[in-house]
A and B are shown apart, each in its own frame.
Chain A
Amino acid sequence: MKQPRYYRRKWFDRLMLGLSALGAGAAILIVCLMLGYIIVHGLSFINLQFLTSSSAGPGQPGGGMRNEIIGTLILVGLGSFIAVPIGLMTGIFLSEFGSPFTASAVRFATDILAGVPSIVVGVFAYAIIVRPMHSYSAFSAGIALAIIMIPVVARTTEESMRLVPDSMREAALALGITRWRAVISIVIPGALTGIVTGVMLGMARIAGETAPLIFTALGNSFGYSGMGKPIGALPLQIYRYAISPYKNWQQQAWAAAFLLMILVLIISLAVRWLSRKRQV
């Protein structure tokens, strides 16, 4: 005997399964199209000269992204240098030391910080650093990127430290070890792959940020000239070149986009490799 409305339910079931498969397919298609498009447009302009020479003027042949590649590495380094200690300590506080009330207040604050649009972070860094110092600077850009990175590091640190069972903390405390020493020597080693994963995710995130750099780094085609001076960066240069009317600049924007994508891709692959290692 058939259940009531058997065919209708059966077809609805099939329809919904089909739709979800379609959605999954669309997501993959978008990734493939974007990767393909960037590879087609960008890969052919990647060569040694592109990687090693400074930018050329509009319409001039040659030129490269050396200064912007170095700039991005410096900015990601500086941002991480500021954000990792702060984020790590925040994560440790959230997981180990905060009372439920203060921890949830701090957690709420980091969530808000994580949700602040990056352009707002840029304007903020502009207002409190660039304006008073009367100069765009690598330093201000590093601060802006650090602000974006801190909540990422803090929350992943907290979450991976929480995965370390309480029995480990108790074992350490019962040996007469101080809480801080237990955190450093027992909890953090157990959570290390998770923490490193969080730091790398944060680095991938800030490597591609453009909006905060417009107000802070400004761009600098002469190469690194000090922390207090403007500095170039790949995403910034992609933005500048892509909207320019010059053919060779547009081509270089594609090549730079390709480069940036490879950088982020390498970081994500490393993250996947690390997190798989953790499960074993």
Chain B
Amino acid sequence: MDTVLKSLVSQNTRANVSGDNIMVAENLRAYYGSFLAVKDFNMGIKTKSITAIIGPSGCGKSTLIRCLNRMHEVIHGARVTGKIFLDGDDIYAPGIDPVNIRHRIGMVFQKPNPFPTMSVMENAVAGLKLTRVFGRRSEMEEIAEKSLRQAALWDEVKDKLKQSGASLSGGQQQRLCIARALAVEPEVILMDEPCSALDPIATLKIEDLMRNLSQNYTIVVVTHNMQQAGRVSDMTAFMMMGDDRAGILVEYGRTDQIFTNPKDKRTEDYITGRFG
């Protein structure tokens, strides 16, 4: 075992995870047309914890996380079979509007994507402004400040709330996107490689933020970066591409267990850098 990784995991102070699953995937399969990208996925996500999904490129991590808030089907020809339960209800049941699901499960993308035509303030409350018909200005400002504070961005942007969201630095833009997701008050926040476009300092800020947010929110994070998974997550899922090129869940468990004592040989090979 890599000693560096071991020491990283030992810094993780919240390794003992208990509590119920807020989300459960059952026999999930995700397709792009006829191509099977994620196969027979079964996994539970624990309430108010950080779950990391790691694995080599192309193993279906991003596809999987996009299934969790029904963003996968936005791509033309993409579809999902199986079930995903949120608080016990299947989000893929007939008659469920994905718009309502996405309201309850927020998402932060790989590349920061604030709306360039909106100011910092408008970006922060975009999710509310564009879903509610009315919104009092003072109420909006309150929510904007609250979510910008939650995203640890308020002190940096409080004097430039009227500026375009695109005028901020990359790390600030990503925290603005997190604030934007928080303003809707979701139950779960999905993060698809949220730091891959950021420098190390901005990355650390986002990771600190994730630790703080996990006291109140459930976070699922896809990451390329094993050290990041070791630093921030409570639970880790390791995915791999199977022989038929479909992504499968190889091993899922507490982060310290996955990193120090993996049960599967393939997990160990990946963790110790023998492939990937």
Q: Real complex partners, A and B?
A: yes
A177 at the interface (CB under 8 A from B): yes
Q: Which of B102, B107, B117, B177 contacts A190 (CB 8 A)?
A: B117
Q: When the two chains form the complex, which single residue of B69, B117, B177, B184 contacts A171, counting CB atoms closer than 8 Å?
A: B177
A176 touches B117 (CB 8 A): no
Beta-carbon nearest neighbor of A188 in chain B: B117
Contact between chains at B130 and A189 (CB < 8 Å): no
What DSSP secondary structure best describes chain A's contact surface?
Answer: helix
Q: Is the CB of A174 within 8 A of B102?
A: yes
Q: Do A175 and B117 touch (CB < 8 A)?
A: no
Which of A100, A168, A175, A182 is B106 in contact with, Cβ under 8 Å? A175
Interface segment, one of B50-58, B108-116, B145-153, B239-247: B108-116
Could you say which residues of chain B place their CB within 8 Å of the CB of A278? none
> B45 an interface residue at 8 Å Cβ cutoff?
no
**CB-CB contacts below 8 Å: B91-119 with A:** 99-104, 106-107, 109, 111, 113-117
Q: Known: A176-B184, A177-B127, A177-B130. Is A171-B115 also a contact (CB below 8 A)?
A: yes
Instruction: For the complex, give the distance between the alpha carbons of A171 and B178 in Å.
Output: 11
Cβ of B137 within 8 Å of any chain A Cβ, yes or no, is: no
A173's contact among B102, B114, B116, B180, by CB below 8 Å, is which?
B102
Chain A residue with minimal CB distance to B111? A167
| Cα–Cα distance between A170 and B131 once the two chains are bound (Å) | 15
Partner of B109, one of A171, A176, A186: A171
Q: Is the CB of B109 within 8 A of A167?
A: yes
Interface residue A181 (Cβ < 8 Å from any Cβ of B): yes
Asked if B116 and A178 make an inter-chain contact with CB atoms under 8 angstroms apart, the answer reads: no
- Tell me, rounded to whole Å, the shortest Cβ–Cβ distance linking B256 to chain A: 31
| Chain A, interface residues (CB within 8 Å), range | 20 to 34
Say yes or no: A100-B109 contact (C-beta < 8 A), given A175-B102, A175-B127: no
Q: A175-B184, A176-B127 are in contact. Are A170 and B74 (CB under 8 A)?
A: yes
A172 to B71, CA, bound (A): 11
**Inter-chain contacts of A190 with B (CB < 8 A):** 116-117
Decide if A99 is an interface residue (CB 8 Å cutoff): yes
A170-B71 in contact (CB<8A): yes
Q: Report if B229 contacts A (CB, 8 A).
A: no
On chain B, the residues within 8 Å of A168 by CB distance are 113, 115-116
| A:140-194 near B, CB below 8 Å | 165, 167-178, 181-182, 185-186, 189-190
- Chain A residue numbers with a CB within 8 Å of B69 are 174
Interface centre among A167, A174, A189 (most CB of B within 10 A): A174
Say yes or no: B76 contacts A177, CB within 8 Å. no
Nearest first, the 7 A-B pairs at minimum CB distance are A176-B103, A175-B127, A174-B107, A189-B117, A176-B102, A167-B113, A171-B113
Write 19 A-B pairs (CB below 8 A) sorted by A numbering. A167-B113, A168-B116, A169-B74, A170-B74, A171-B113, A171-B114, A172-B115, A173-B71, A173-B102, A174-B71, A174-B106, A175-B127, A176-B101, A176-B102, A176-B103, A177-B126, A178-B131, A181-B130, A181-B131
